[in-house]
Amino acid sequence: MSKEFNASRLDVHAFAQSAGHLQGQAPLGALPRLAAEAQGGAGVPEVQWRAEGELQEQTGGPGHVWLHLQAQAVVPMVCQRCLSLAPISLEVDRSFRFVADEALAEEEDNDSEEDVLALSREFNLLELVEDELLMELPVVPRHDSCPGEPRMSSSDADFEQANTEKVNPFAALRELDLKK
């Protein structure tokens, strides 16, 4: 555990072997592709992440190399419902298995549910953090509930109205029967 690891040039195998631990935080601007999605909000949003390495025993084999990643970020985006800025929370919690090379990684990634990546001695962990956060971006960003608009109650009322207007087909049949 005394070994120092560098997040932007990580020796993944050594990290797993020593059950390494890395965590950090960075301003959103340090992840330019993610920052490009952010609308000019107040303050400097921060990205937080942590990673753990794990070497899983494998009988008769070299063992499986795993990297467990968690990341969080809040990205200000334009809410598509009220068109004001909404703080969109992104959360990543994923594990990646590393194999010997790219070809094998591609093959195994297709064949299994797991996320498989190629081993590297200079793996850019921050790039992976950014990739994963980008995948969490909502297609249609919006507030959980928009500020300044009692939207919930009005849409509830619409829903109630739609419900009561709907004619119960059995009741309609009974009515027909009565009219005979």
As given in the structure block, the two tokens for residue 167 are 């004619």
Q: Which of 26, 55, 82, 134 forms a contact with Zn ion (CB under 5 A)?
A: 82
Q: Which stretch binds Zn ion (CB under 5 A): 46-54, 106-114, 137-145, 151-159?
A: 137-145
Give Cα 81 distance to the centre of its chain.
22
Closest to 70 measured CA to CA, from 23, 19, 107, 104:
23
Binding positions for Zn ion, 11-70, rule CB under 5 A: none
Report helix, strand or coil for 146: coil
Does 81 bind Zn ion (CB under 5 A)? Our answer is yes
Name the phi and psi angles at 32, rounded to 5.
-60, -35
Q: Which of 34, 47, 77, 79 forms a contact with Zn ion (CB under 5 A)?
A: 79
Does 151 bind Zn ion (CB under 5 A)? Our answer is no
Does 143 bind Zn ion (CB under 5 A)? Our answer is yes
Q: 65 and 98 in contact (C-beta within 8 Å)?
A: yes
As given in the structure block, the two tokens for residue 130 are 């950014």
Least distance between Zn ion and beta carbon 160 (Å)? 23
Site size toward Zn ion (CB under 5 A) is 5
List residues binding Zn ion (CB under 5 A). Answer: 79, 81-82, 143, 146
